[in-house]
Amino acid sequence: MAYVFAGSGTAGSETAPIHGGNMVVFGSGDRLTLTADATQDSRTDALEVMLLGGEPIGEPASSTGRSS
């Protein structure tokens, strides 16, 4: 997974458009592709992302920190 903090670009071999606030989920494999657009919006001059990875733990996700 990749969370886009700022900027714009594309993700994956299908070059899906991404921008700030998007979460990108990649399928299985040994590579990922993120490409920054040649020009960025006026708020940032770079594509800023955080890459996340790990093994699934089989638990529900909760935005408040508690499971319902």
Over residues 27-59, the pLDDT tens digits come to: 888 889 999 999 998 788 899 999 988 887 888
Q: Assess whether pLDDT exceeds 80 at residue 4.
A: yes
User: Does residue 67 carry a pLDDT above 70?
Assistant: no
- Give yes or no for residue 68 having a pLDDT over 60: no
3-27 burial by CB neighbour count: b if 16+ within 10 A, else e? Answer: ebebbbbbbbeeeeebebebebeee
Buried b (16+ CB within 10 A) or exposed e, 33-57: ebebeeebeeeeeebebeeeeeeee
Q: Identify the pLDDT of residue 50.
A: 96
Q: Considering the entire predicted model, what is its pTM?
A: 0.74
Per-residue model confidence (pLDDT) at position 19: 94
